[in-house]
Amino acid sequence: MKNKIMTLALLASLAACSGGNPFDVPEEVDPDDVTDGETVGDGEGTGIDREGIPPGTAAPSPNAAIFRSEPTADGDGPNRGNGFANNIAYNAEDDTFSVDNLAFDGNTPYTRGTLVSSLSGDTDGNGRFQVYEAPRTVIDQRAISRDNPTGEVRQFVYRAVYGVSRNRFNNGGTEAATTQFAIVRTGSYVDYGFGGFIYQRDNSLVLPTEGVATFDGHSAGLRDFENQGGLQYSTADVRVTIDFSDFNDGTDVRGDGVEGRIYNRRVIDLEGNDITAEVAATLGEGVSEIPDALFIVGPDRLDNNGDLVTEIRSDLPNGAGVYEQGTFYGIVSGEADEIVGVFVLESESTDITSRDTGGFIVYRGDGG
């Protein structure tokens, strides 16, 4: 199975998101241009051998676009459905979202959410990130009967969350968004089920060699479960700080320290109700907030191409132990003025394991 994300051609300019062609596969780079000791892979989503970087662009370069997608998992564990979603594309002409390789998610594109159409609203009440839902039924003409006069066959519950940068650049004469992400999850399996995510930079990168930069912004995503079905939306604020001066660089390794926080975390059910307090209450008596997730600081978190990977965790209140552990994936963009990516946090201390998959875009300066 190929894990490489392709694109459907846009039929119109990105009206809902002010320009750009989401999820074009970045042009491959000549192997001679590869930097920072990276190796060229097979172009099928398995090429990068730097530990921790998800599959995607086989020969990354700071001078070109990069995309990354969710790694697939071996075996029959709860993560066996990771990275199945492909051919992800936003269709601007009718504000729909196309996803391939997921069974029982309908036979037409996902449409804009009805009860929840966007997440992480700004001060004007507009959502920063868009929500799409798969068709709930398909028609089987041969299933039409007295008991089923319409021939409808129910489908699984799937949702997609799409984020696109507010920044634009000149892409060969066309205005395009600098970064974007998409997440697809389902709530119709006892375990996590099948889905995937993608995030990408569509412009180039110039990294500083010294100084400190802080990036602020927001996230939106989907929360699913192992050992029970169900699906929820999640939002948060995100801050990332990079020290470009230290740690010291090693051989083929940038030393830049990276620290950050995922905070003001909220959970919303599929009907649009904020259930944060209800979720937090399961963590202990008197708990009313979901714990912040913090970065595990160390060197070798960022490379010259802009790929950023670090471990993250959240702790239960009052020193009661670890609540979640996971990974924060990102790509730095432009003149180090923006980061796009996805984080995945899995709970460690409850009978039912939750997984929070959040896409984020953070900006240097005003996070908006």
β-pairing verdict for 196-201 and 110-112: unpaired
Mean residue pLDDT across the chain: 84
Question: Is 345 in contact with 312 (CB distance < 8 Å)?
Answer: yes
pLDDT surpasses 60 at 262? yes
Q: Write the pLDDT tens digit of every residue in 100-137.
A: 999 999 999 999 999 999 998 775 556 689 999 999 99
Q: Which residue has the higher pLDDT, 191 or 44?
A: 191
Residue 349 is predicted with a pLDDT of 62
Q: Which residue has the higher pLDDT, 349 or 204?
A: 204
Question: Is 288 in contact with 280 (CB distance < 8 Å)?
Answer: yes
Q: Write the pLDDT tens digit of every residue in 345-356.
A: 999 766 789 999
Could you give the CA distance from residue 130 to residue 268 in angstroms, rounded to a whole number?
A: 14
pLDDT surpasses 70 at 197? yes
- Which band of pLDDT confidence, cut at 50, 70 and 90, is reported for residue 275? very high
pLDDT surpasses 70 at 144? yes
Residue 16 is predicted with a pLDDT of 30
Tokens of 137: 């039924």
For the residues 245-261, what does the mean pLDDT come to? 87
**Selection from 3, 4, 6 nearest residue 72 by Cα:** 3
Could you give the CA distance from residue 342 to residue 93 in angstroms, rounded to a whole number?
A: 27
Residue 50 is predicted with a pLDDT of 46
Question: Is the C-alpha dihedral spanning 337, 301, 129, 82 positive or negative?
Answer: positive
For the residues 222-236, what does the mean pLDDT come to? 95
Residue 350 is predicted with a pLDDT of 65
- Which band of pLDDT confidence, cut at 50, 70 and 90, is reported for residue 4? very low
Q: Which residue has the higher pLDDT, 163 or 74?
A: 163
User: What are the backbone angles phi and psi of residue 105, rounded to the nearest 5°?
Assistant: -115, 30
Single pTM value for the model: 0.86
User: What are the backbone angles phi and psi of residue 362, rounded to the nearest 5°?
Assistant: -120, 145
Residue 216 is predicted with a pLDDT of 96
Reduced 3-state DSSP string for the chain: CCCCCCCCCCCCCCHHHCCCCCCCCCCCCCHHHCCCCCCCCCCCCCCCCCCCCCCECCCCCCCCCEEEECCCCCCCCCCCCCCCCEEEEEECCCCEEEEECCCCCCCCCEEECCCCCEEEECCCCCEEEEEEECCCEEECHHHCCCCCCCCEEECCCEEEEEEECCCEEEECCEEEECEEEEEEEECCCCCCCCCEEEEEECCCECCCCCCEEEEEEEEEEEEEEECCCCCEEEEEEEEEEEECCCCCCECCECCCEEEEEEEEEEEECCCCCECHHHHHHCCCCCCCCCCCEEECCCCCCECCCCEEEEEEEEECHHHCCEEEEEEEEEEEEECCCEEEEEEEEEECCCCCEEEEEEEEEEEECCCC
